[in-house]
Amino acid sequence: MKENFVFRLPPEIYFGGGEGKKAGELVKRWGEKALLVTGKKSMQETGILEEILQSLEGAGVQCSIFDQVEPEPSLETVDRGLDLAYRERCDFVISLGGGSAQDCGKAIAGLCGNSHTVLPYFEGKVLSSPGIPWIAVPTTAGTGSEMTTNAVLTDYRTKLKKSFRSPYLLAKLVIIDPLYTRFMSPYLTATSGIDALVQALEAYVSQEVNPVSEVLAEEAIELLWKYLPQAVKEGQNLNYRKQVAKGSMISAMAFANSASGPAHGLSHIVGPEFSVVHGEACGIFFPRVVEFNREVLKDRYEKIARIVEIEGEEDLIDKFIEAFLNLMKEIGLRTSLGELGIKEDMLQGIVKEERIGRNLRENPRPMGEEEIYTLLKASL
């Protein structure tokens, strides 16, 4: 565990039912003109967009809407939003929606005033100065993007998914209203929630874990393990929604200040290649990663087993793996790549050097191309 560490969080986090209605009063300190970044239809259909717009209007904030964000946002989408922010002379950016809207809006805000395109920064150029303020209003409980200093983007020309990172990408304000998550389908609740759970689990065993992130990860694991299945089954139960939203928030605080792990790294490889939903892929890979790392992380995995109240003193890791797979099935997710129609011959050539991210390279048990292919095949 790291004893010397940096811990970063957004300076203000508003959590609770009804907090979304306060958005206008909370954001007006940053200017009179906002770029609101969102997806193509769900925020309109649920009425959440209208509620936020009314709040902004009531506070005297004008708004330009960029509603072209797709799942797994592309570099081109970021550039189009950035162009609109420049043309409309926006003072700050609000992201409204799930992880894709958060990542896209975050990137636009960070680049505004620094560049007219994201490509050089996606390829590794360092952001040298802050952009304009970014405000996050997540409407799903899972990705954690509202707490992080990285924007996950996809170059569809090369099928490369990775992060654009900078401390300057940290949100100025986060508004988490659990009421907004009640519109999520059972499948979206499950995939977002399992993403948050795996983030907490990987943060807990990360080589970057520190005394603060460890405590947060433990709390997130407990909350999500208990309440995610209930939120999937009873999506209109506002207490279950609140508890999962809280678990997701705390998980994001933990992994943003330690690290994610190989389950996320593997998901970034197969996601763009086969259009696999990120959270479901993370859930599929996590048990195989535990098997791979069990000897070097034995004590940590056994502690997790006890956190989720697995009984007995023997075979704790085996019991934990079985319990995790049962949880995946309980919330209606698949537990293998084979169930997604992926076959062994389709895996050939997908592990390329540029796709092997830090969360794979920095695994406590060394992991190269051969080991990655072994894990992919084990997940079929």
The count of other CB atoms within 10 Å of the CB of residue 69 is: 26
State how far the Cα of 70 lies from the Cα of 287, in Å rounded to an integer: 29
pLDDT at residue 56, rounded to an integer: 98
CA nearest neighbour of 214 among 226, 231, 202: 202
pLDDT at residue 291, rounded to an integer: 97
pLDDT at residue 312, rounded to an integer: 83
Domain covering 184-378 in this structure, CATH number? 1.20.1090.10
DSSP 133-185: -EEEEE-SSS--GGG-SEEEEEETTTTEEEEEE-GGG--SEEEE-GGGGGG--
DSSP 126: P
Task: Enumerate the β-bridge partners of residue 13.
Answer: 174
* Long-range contacts of residues 48-53, Cβ cutoff 8 Å, at least 24 apart: 48/20, 48/96, 48/139, 48/180, 48/183, 49/96, 51/20, 51/21, 52/20, 52/23, 52/94, 52/96, 52/137
- Break the chain into its structural domains and give their ranges: 13-181, 184-378
pLDDT at residue 131, rounded to an integer: 98
> Is residue 218 a contact partner of residue 307, using CB atoms and an 8 Å limit?
yes
- Residue-wise pLDDT for 190-242, tens only, equals 999 999 999 999 999 999 999 999 999 999 999 999 999 999 999 999 999 99
CA nearest neighbour of 165 among 260, 70, 34: 260
DSSP 213: H
Cα 206 to chain centroid, rounded: 17
Helix %, strand %, coil % of the chain (to 5): 55, 10, 35
Written as tens digits, the pLDDT of the chain (380 aa) is 899 999 999 999 999 999 999 999 999 999 999 999 999 999 999 999 999 999 999 999 999 999 999 999 999 999 999 999 999 999 999 999 999 999 999 999 999 999 999 999 999 999 999 999 999 999 999 989 999 999 999 999 998 999 999 999 999 999 999 999 999 999 999 999 999 999 999 999 999 999 999 999 999 999 999 999 999 999 999 999 999 999 999 999 999 999 889 999 999 999 989 999 999 999 999 999 999 999 999 999 999 999 999 988 889 999 999 999 999 999 999 999 999 999 999 999 999 888 998 899 989 999 999 999 999 999 99
Vertex 261: Cα angle to 105 and 141 (nearest 5): 45
Domain covering 13-181 in this structure, CATH number? 3.40.50.1970
State how far the Cα of 176 lies from the Cα of 95, in Å rounded to an integer: 12
Residue 11, helix vs strand vs coil: coil
Query: Under the phi-then-psi rule, with left for phi > 0, alpha for psi from -120 to 50, and beta for the rest, what region is 160?
Result: beta
pLDDT at residue 214, rounded to an integer: 97
Asked if the domains at 13-181 and 184-378 fall in one CATH topology, the answer is: no
Residue 87: which residues within 8 A CB-CB, separation 6 or more? none
Residue 313: HSE in the Cβ half-sphere, 13 Å Cα cutoff: 0
